[in-house]
Chains A and B, each alone.
Chain A
Amino acid sequence: MTMNKTEIAQKFITMIPHSRALGMELTHVGEGEAHIEMPYDARFVGDPETGVISGGAVSALMDTCCGAAAMSHPSSPAGTATIDLRIDYMRAAQPGQTIRAKAECYHITRSVAFVRATAFDDDDANPVATANGTFTVEAS
């Protein structure tokens, strides 16, 4: 009868028009954890000379992944909204490769969820970007 958190999060992601527009796929959701992939797409290129994906598209991926991690936390009753999100860009993602984001909600209060995330391309040893954000905890 009742859907569990994983199902709710999964359903929620596919219902977000912008996440769908960017081709995002939720590959894992745990208690306060989420993994989302975004396949390479020429429409999302930010640097036409090199074919590197735009920082803006990576931001959208990070925001979605962090939001999903916040919502999937056992202490989070319902939806969430971003309060603040900071992204550090370590290097350019390899053109042609899928970008995979992993987010973790490492602390939550009645009002605020604290989340961090890392994004990789095919090279697992060198992150493309990291993010740190705070999200609202909405009453159910």
Chain B
Amino acid sequence: MARQKPEPMQVVKQRRDAALNALVQGVPYIQFLGIQFDRRGDELTALLPFDEKLIGNPMLPALHGGVTAAFLETTAVIGLSWASLWEDIEAGKFDAADLSAGHLPRLPKTIDFSVDYLRSGLPRDAYARARVNRSGRRYASVHVEAWQDRREKLFAQATGHFLMPSRDD
């Protein structure tokens, strides 16, 4: 027999988007900051649209260092969770209706997070991507980069360690 016929594109997209939405929409703090996620295949880019309440230094003005840290940490947690759930999502082990009804997968817990502030965050949109450098059964190490206008001109980067949720439920 030849290989199986691929699933229709809309079915695949709908399943992935439903899983990502369930992951992101369920967290109040992500909604408070206004963080969105753009998905291309399995690659996620976090977007932080500018808002006045994100300002830390009104004189400059510049983004609050805490906003930058929170944006990077959120990107790391969602990116890590997304990467660890990807196989299950692809295998159709996630029921989208069940997910949207609030039965969310447990998120990884931050053990430590170290932010490197490279330049001040300008009062405009910011973007970030996470790279999972190591993901074991219990621990994971994730690096995140954030930029504004030019991808190669980072305004902050961070590394964090995370405790993975137990997978026996």
Contacts and interface: CB of A to CB of B under 8 A. Distances in A.
Interface in B65-91: 65-67, 69-71, 73-74, 77
Given A18-B54, A84-B116, A60 B27 contact: no
B12 interface: no
Contact of B112 (A16, A54, A61, A86): A86
B66 A44 contact: no
A48 to B, nearest CB: 5
Contact of A18 (B27, B53, B109, B113): B53
Given A18-B53, A18-B55, A67-B65, A89 B110 contact: yes
Interface string B96-120: 0000001010110111111111001
A112 interface: no
Interface in B27-86: 27-29, 31-33, 52-59, 62, 64-67, 69-71, 73-74, 77
Interface residues of B, number: 40
Interface residues of A, number: 39
Contacts, number: 133
Q: Secondary structure at chain B's binding surface: helix, strand, loop or mixed?
A: mixed
A85 B74 CA distance: 16
B114 A85 contact: yes
Interface string A96-112: 00000000000000000
B64 A60 contact: yes
Contacts of B74: 54, 56
A33 B135 CA distance: 38
A21 B110 CA distance: 23
A82 interface: yes
Contacts of A81: 57, 62, 65, 117, 120
B62 to A, nearest CB: 8
Given A48-B27, A82-B117, 6 more contacts: A46-B29, A56-B29, A63-B69, A81-B57, A86-B113, A87-B112
**Complex A-B, nearest 7 residue pairs according to Cβ-Cβ distance, in ascending order:** A60-B66, A56-B70, A18-B64, A54-B29, A59-B69, A82-B65, A21-B53
